[in-house]
Amino acid sequence: MLKKIVAIGPESTGKSTLCKQLAAHYQCSWVPEYARAYLEENGTDYTYDDLIIIATKQLSIEDQMTSEAVARNDQYLFIDTDMYVMKVWSEFVFNKCDNRILTQVAKRHYDLYLLCDVDLPWQQDALREYPDIEKRKVLFEYYRDAMINQPVPWTIIQGTDEQRLANAVKSIRKLF
């Protein structure tokens, strides 16, 4: 049975890199973060309403890739970003979150969360918003609070890219 594992955390914490590495390690697929493609196409001056568009497309891509992974009988599907990320992003930037995102937070099923810490050096790119370590720590605490208050197993992933991969693999082996 397919196990869905989500990488979450603030921007520039290695979520995409970790998902790519895990997919290569386990020879399976991973779901990229749609927000990056959306912002590249539409610019970084996004609104509250844009977040529901991003969330809806993220879920559509995840559902499509889940179906494909099931058809291939893959053991794992690694997901870069879920609705907790959309929830935190929405609340942090706009002080509110659309009920459609909150409904999906409650409705979706995952098997493990990998919460990426802010201990990696900041990697600047045109789409990232919060290079300040203090804001990144605050965002990390939003994610940690979300993880504490939900039932799915989770672990904090820290260290270099190589250490993160090793820690994630260890957590996956331990759980599954």
- The beta strand positions in the chain, using DSSP E, are 3-8, 29-31, 76-80, 112-116, 154-157
pLDDT for res 12: 87
36 compared with 111, residue with greater pLDDT:
111
pLDDT for res 128: 53
Q: Are 86 and 51 in contact (CB under 8 A)?
A: yes
Question: Which domains does the chain show, CATH number per domain?
Answer: 3-175 (3.40.50.300)
The token pair that represents 138 in the structure block: 């605050």
Residue 19: pLDDT band (50, 70, 90) is very high
Q: Residues with Cβ < 8 Å from 107, sequence gap 6 or more?
A: none
Proportion of the chain above pLDDT 90, given as a percent: 86
pLDDT per residue over 112-136, tens digit each?
Answer: 999 999 998 767 665 556 667 788 8
Q: Are 140 and 84 in contact (CB under 8 A)?
A: no
Rounded mean pLDDT of 30-55? 94
pLDDT for res 121: 77
**pTM for this predicted structure:** 0.94
Q: Is the pLDDT confidence value at 38 over 80? A: yes
Looking at every residue in the chain, the average pLDDT score rounds to 94
Residue 57: pLDDT band (50, 70, 90) is very high
61 compared with 120, residue with greater pLDDT:
61
Proportion of the chain above pLDDT 70, given as a percent: 95
Where is average pLDDT lowest: 126-130, 147-151, 169-173? 126-130
